[in-house]
Amino acid sequence: MKRLAFAALLVATTAFAQTPATRVADDAKVIDRVAQASKKDLPRDLLRRIVDEDVDLLRGKKSDGTYQYAGYERLEASRISDSFSIEPKGGEDDLRRIELRGEQTYRLVIGLPSRRMLVTKNRRLWIDRADIEYIPQGGSTTKVQSVKIGAWLEPGTSRNVDFDEIARQATVRVFARADKKDGYSNVVLTLIQARIFDHPDSPFADAIASLKAIQRALDHSDIASIRSMSSRVMRGLGAVEAPAVRTIDVIAPRAETATAAAPSADVLRELQEIEDLLTGNEAERRQGADRLHQLLRRLRTAK
């Protein structure tokens, strides 16, 4: 079974087209063949990485993290968080600065846990202000937004600070101090990352929807759905397969033509090593899957 899946991957790596549509169609063929040959050993992590790259490719991902056929909206996709301990010292003007960085963010959440440890109650914290230094989506110039808060934050509560714009890159700095009478306090800073949405007028909208369905099917090892959606991607992107009943005259290729179409000796040697790893133990299979993924990326970018 592993040799069948490996053979499909070998065929797919011999020549990659240069356009996003044909590259993704080629990957869909590989995913379909691997899913067909898999039993309980579906390489979900490897296939998920391939699908993630294909989604970015069809969205037209740019070097700055933005997309030609997609954008970001103020709905939560994920979070970046860090916790800090603020100790009381100095006077009321002696503020402690804490900092957090993130990408594709639109909101800061300042939160005080109810407890510092499992049994120790947390203490209130004075939040003076939040300074946000960011580069907006579609821009290249750094902007600064300063939000005055000037209030005590009690344990078990939080305070939201929305950015003026969705930030491609952002650094937030919060200035706070603990109450001398109460002692130190723990605070958690969280950056909410924006969700990607696909433009409805994208020429690849249907293919992207199918790739998203493959991502969900991979979570449940749903072979039937993976194969169905892979076929839909191939059809939608114009992948054409030879009719099963067609009769073709086979003519031996010229020596130079066969040499040009075949993978290089280095590629064949590396594929053989990968095949050996994929038939080994669990650790070797993971190593083989990683090496195969790296080889696919190199072949895609080769001119």
pLDDT digit string (tens) for 141-182? 999 999 999 999 999 999 999 999 999 999 999 999 998 887
Per this entry, what is the length of the chain?
A: 303
Backbone angle region of 183, left / alpha / beta, with phi > 0 → left and psi within -120 to 50 → alpha: left
Percent of the chain at pLDDT above 70? 79
Quickly tell me which residue has 């970018």 as its tokens.
301
| Domain residue ranges in the chain | 2-69+201-242+252-301, 71-198
Is 70 exceeded by the pLDDT of residue 109?
Answer: yes
Q: What is the mean pLDDT of residues 115-119?
A: 74
Tell which wins on pLDDT, 91 or 67.
67
d(CA 63, CA 45) in angstroms, rounded, equals 24
pLDDT band at 276 (very low <50, low <70, confident <90, very high): low
Q: Report pLDDT digits (tens) over 10-59.
A: 544 544 435 889 999 999 999 999 999 998 899 999 999 999 999 999 99
pLDDT at residue number 51: 96
Q: Report pLDDT digits (tens) over 127-136.
A: 999 999 999 9
**Domain 71-198, second-level architecture:** Sandwich (2.60)
pLDDT at residue number 303: 52
292, 284 Cβ separation under 8 angstroms: no
Burial string for 116-153 (b: 16+ CB within 10 Å, else e) reads beeeeebbebbbbebebbbbbbeeeeeeebebebeeeb
**Which of 124, 146, 120 has the alpha carbon at shortest distance from 134?**
146
